[in-house]
Structure 1
Amino acid sequence: MSTPGTLAHSPAVSVVVCVYTEDRWEDILAAVSSVGAQSYPALETLLVVDHNPALRDRLAREYKETPRVRVLANTGPRGLSAGRNTGIAAARGEVIAFLDDDAVAERDWLRHFAEGYADPRVMAVGGRTVPVWASGRRPAWFPEEFDWVVGCAYKGLPRGRARVRNVLGGNASFRRTAFDAAGGFATGIGRDGDRRPLGCEETELCIRLSRARPDAVLLLDDRAVIHHRVPAARERFGYFRTRTYAEGLSKALVARSVGADKGLESERRYTTRVLPAGVARGLRDALLGRPGGARRAGAIVAGVLTAAGGYVVGSVRARRGAMTFSVGRIEPAEPERTRAGTDA
């Protein structure tokens, strides 16, 4: 097996997997197993359980004899951001990677992340997330330009290794010093279990990081691949509409915090170049008699309008103080109460 020492720079990597429901038990086991099979071994895997004592206890029993896996309880408010902050506080690695609880990483996932940190200016490296559709194939109406709706890489992202404004949180890594400079993930902006699917917490963090460290480099390396399960409920147009609306709400909060120039910088190119091209492709496919072309074009238009509506509503609420968030604090964890396994 290859080891970290085979790279020119070999940062120790902690992997954080935030979990919240026993409904994803098999997915969680698969995610942890994929981390354990990496060609570039992780220092540790931290399972952060979001206010679910039964799940925490079950995972602690499952990994009691697994030295490199630790089970922690989210020490902050309910939600993904606070769970990630708990993991950051407990992690011992120079680099901290995040993996969704319903995803599996390819064997060289961490290797490609680690390679990116050979440059000391690099503060974050993200990867490519590939959807695994419950139905076995992409719904004919679902445009690739909106794969972010289901937490995956979407058409319009750069290919290869490229500098980006922000990485995508379900498949990302950060140098530990990034959190020292910018603080943690903002609470009140990201997901909270199965409630309204807000997002953008990683966007807000990355913009805040670039302000705190103007020399910081953030990379996307599409060789760092994970495969993300998309349940049947998220293949439906109703979820598509709910998620795009929630994205508009989240973008309003980000723009309110960091300014529209930075908060919407990437989105302007996406809406003026990528999406019109997607509509044109859909209409062309419809004219050629290809399945789903007209529906894909219509879904793109509907997604833009719904997200815009969410942004308008979110902007009004943010100005009134009805929608707020706060920068996450990295509080020390309590390993003696939440530890499963022994030190590696």
Structure 2
Amino acid sequence: MTYGNEQAGGAERLPGIGRLAGLAVAELELDAPDGSGARIGPAPGGPPLDAVPRDGDDRRVFALVRLRGRPVGTVVGRVRTGEDPASVLAGQAADEITLPDTPPRPPAGDVPRATVVVATRERPAQLARALESLLAQDHPDFDVVVVDNAPATTATRDLIASVYGERGVRYAREPVPGLAAAHNRGIAVAESDVLAFTDDDVIADPHWLSALTLPFGEDPGLACVTGLILPARLGTPAQVLLESHGGFAKGFAARRYDPARPPADEPLFPFTAGRFGSGANMAFRAGPLKAVGGFDPATGTGTPARGGDDLYAFVRLLAEGYPLLYTPEAIVWHHHRESWRDLCGQAYGYGAGLTACLTALLVRRPALLPPLLARLPRGLAHARTMTAQRAGGAAGRAGAPGAHGAYTYPWPRHLSRLERRGLLYGPLGYARARLAVRGTERPWEAT
């Protein structure tokens, strides 16, 4: 869910990094079921590969690589005029990705019934695109709830009533502005034991919901599952920069985060919430999520806190001893914001949301203060690295997305400053938001 106006950025010149060319976004299957070998196609919801402007004689392509349906990595390559994109990128994938001996994807096992909650505000066209992908899921038993957050018009309600109501999509209205408040309304009206959340600016892979909910059936102690988020388009410099900054992807290896066995390679655990996943692709067991109070309504996009609602929920559950699982099998394709102005707002919001989340955690669970203070020196060092200005290195010269957490991407001084200003603002933003939402918590307990 994104608040604000859409702005097309075009091939704008961004301060401090010059011009970044766009990339085609594709899916590359290395072993097609029909025996035809490698095949390639555009990302769901993205433009055809030949619609992306060339960079000289080349067309630059960002591709999700699958092996018999399963995601195994990404490649960024150049395809010259006359070359077969599938062959070129398959060869590159063989050089760059350690391919597992991956069997064909098995049919979904004992997946629990689920409710998908989509929060939205005045974006009926984007919402319709997302809903079409959700209604095409291969999950055997689910429903969809659209939460209309502080609507200014009846556009969303009319869309559901006229097009999607008869297809089983339910409508709910949440008058309090903010993504967390909208998600809490979704919790209140959902009728399933597993609640999945995604945004109105994504397209879900047909296997998304099955992959996201299957772990709950396999592990009764699991409270949260997150999945892989990939860019649907990389057509503007702002979109390339955001994905280069790590985007929303968390890699191609499943990982379980268990508070009983803290990961040795995560010294800031559990406060490195950004490692666990993002709000556009997450699911929770309803009982534990309700037990911790759901999402803090003073966090999230649409509030003065600017974000942090998803991070708060992840850390809150981990702090209560519940494990969390990240799985790359559950994929959604996210439409990144297109303009420089939007990217500036996101950079500021990332910083603000992080410290707003930490403030919320301390307010809601003061016992977290000692472990947070013990990790503070390393946390500050991590924040400096995360928000540092960068000329770009190899990824910057190519204008290509880098690996998540590698920090080798181009990141202009202006965006670096905005992130750091956001870090300072977050606690104040949370305080302002908390005053504004008093009396709106736990709507599922209302009589």
TM-score calculated relative to the size of structure 2: 0.59
Specify the alignment match of 1:338 in structure 2: none
Q: Comparing both chains, which one has the higher relative contact order based on Cα–Cα distances under 8 Å and sequence gaps of 6 or more? A: 1
Shift in Å at residue 44 of structure 1?
A: 0.8
SS of alignment partner, residue 16 of structure 1: strand
SS of alignment partner, residue 58 of structure 1: helix
**Are the structure 2 counterparts of residues 107 and 7 from structure 1 closer, same or farther at C-alpha, using a change threshold of 3 Å?**
closer
* CA deviation string 1:161-201 (max 9, x = no partner): 11245432111111111223212111121111xx7681111
The 8 Å contact of residues 130 and 202 in structure 2, kept in 1 or not, is answered as: yes
Aligned residues: 310
Shift in Å at residue 47 of structure 1?
A: 0.8
SS of alignment partner, residue 209 of structure 1: helix
Whether 2:158 is the aligned partner of 1:58: answer yes
**Are the structure 2 counterparts of residues 93 and 262 from structure 1 closer, same or farther at C-alpha, using a change threshold of 3 Å?**
farther
The 8 Å contact of residues 233 and 239 in structure 1, kept in 2 or not, is answered as: no
SS of alignment partner, residue 89 of structure 1: helix
Shift in Å at residue 308 of structure 1?
A: 3.1
The 8 Å contact of residues 124 and 173 in structure 1, kept in 2 or not, is answered as: yes
Whether 2:312 is the aligned partner of 1:204: answer yes
Whether 2:226 is the aligned partner of 1:126: answer yes
SS of alignment partner, residue 17 of structure 1: strand
C-alpha distance in 2 between matches for 1:235 and 1:135: 16
Shift in Å at residue 86 of structure 1?
A: 1.1
* CA deviation string 1:195-228 (max 9, x = no partner): 768111111122222233x1x2111111111011
The 8 Å contact of residues 234 and 240 in structure 1, kept in 2 or not, is answered as: no
Shift in Å at residue 265 of structure 1?
A: 6.5
Query: Match for 1:179 among 289, 293, 310?
Result: 289
Shift in Å at residue 273 of structure 1?
A: 10
**Are the structure 2 counterparts of residues 249 and 68 from structure 1 closer, same or farther at C-alpha, using a change threshold of 3 Å?**
same
**Are the structure 2 counterparts of residues 200 and 141 from structure 1 closer, same or farther at C-alpha, using a change threshold of 3 Å?**
closer
Q: Write out aligned runs for 1:1-344 (5 A).
A: 7-21=108-122, 24-52=123-151, 54-63=154-163, 66-74=166-174, 77-117=176-216, 118-133=218-233, 135=235, 141-142=241-242, 144-147=244-247, 152-153=248-249, 157-164=250-257, 165=270, 166-192=276-302, 198-212=306-320, 214=321, 216-233=322-339, 237-254=343-360, 256-257=362-363, 258=365, 259=368, 261=371, 272=382, 275=385, 282-284=392-394, 290-291=398-399, 299=411, 303-315=415-427, 322=432, 324=434, 328-331=441-444
SS of alignment partner, residue 291 of structure 2: helix
Q: Which amino acid aligns with 1:114?
A: T
SS of alignment partner, residue 212 of structure 2: helix
The 8 Å contact of residues 236 and 338 in structure 2, kept in 1 or not, is answered as: no
The 8 Å contact of residues 199 and 246 in structure 1, kept in 2 or not, is answered as: yes
C-alpha distance in 2 between matches for 1:121 and 1:131: 32
Structure 2: unaligned runs, 5 residues or longer: 1-106, 258-269, 271-275, 402-407
C-alpha distance in 2 between matches for 1:317 and 1:101: 25
C-alpha distance in 2 between matches for 1:274 and 1:233: 25
Shift in Å at residue 45 of structure 1?
A: 0.6
Shift in Å at residue 160 of structure 1?
A: 1.9
Shift in Å at residue 88 of structure 1?
A: 1.0
* CA deviation string 1:52-109 (max 9, x = no partner): 25134313422465242111111x5221111111111111112110110111100100
Q: Which amino acid aligns with 2:312?
A: E
**Are the structure 2 counterparts of residues 163 and 211 from structure 1 closer, same or farther at C-alpha, using a change threshold of 3 Å?**
same
Larger Cα Rg: Structure 1 or Structure 2? 2
The 8 Å contact of residues 197 and 283 in structure 2, kept in 1 or not, is answered as: yes
C-alpha distance in 2 between matches for 1:137 and 1:313: 27
Specify the alignment match of 2:265 in structure 1: none
**Are the structure 2 counterparts of residues 81 and 267 from structure 1 closer, same or farther at C-alpha, using a change threshold of 3 Å?**
farther
SS of alignment partner, residue 324 of structure 2: strand
The 8 Å contact of residues 132 and 229 in structure 1, kept in 2 or not, is answered as: yes
Q: Which amino acid aligns with 1:80?
A: L
C-alpha distance in 2 between matches for 1:12 and 1:83: 21
**Are the structure 2 counterparts of residues 50 and 265 from structure 1 closer, same or farther at C-alpha, using a change threshold of 3 Å?**
farther
SS of alignment partner, residue 40 of structure 1: coil
Root-mean-square deviation over aligned CA pairs: 3.9
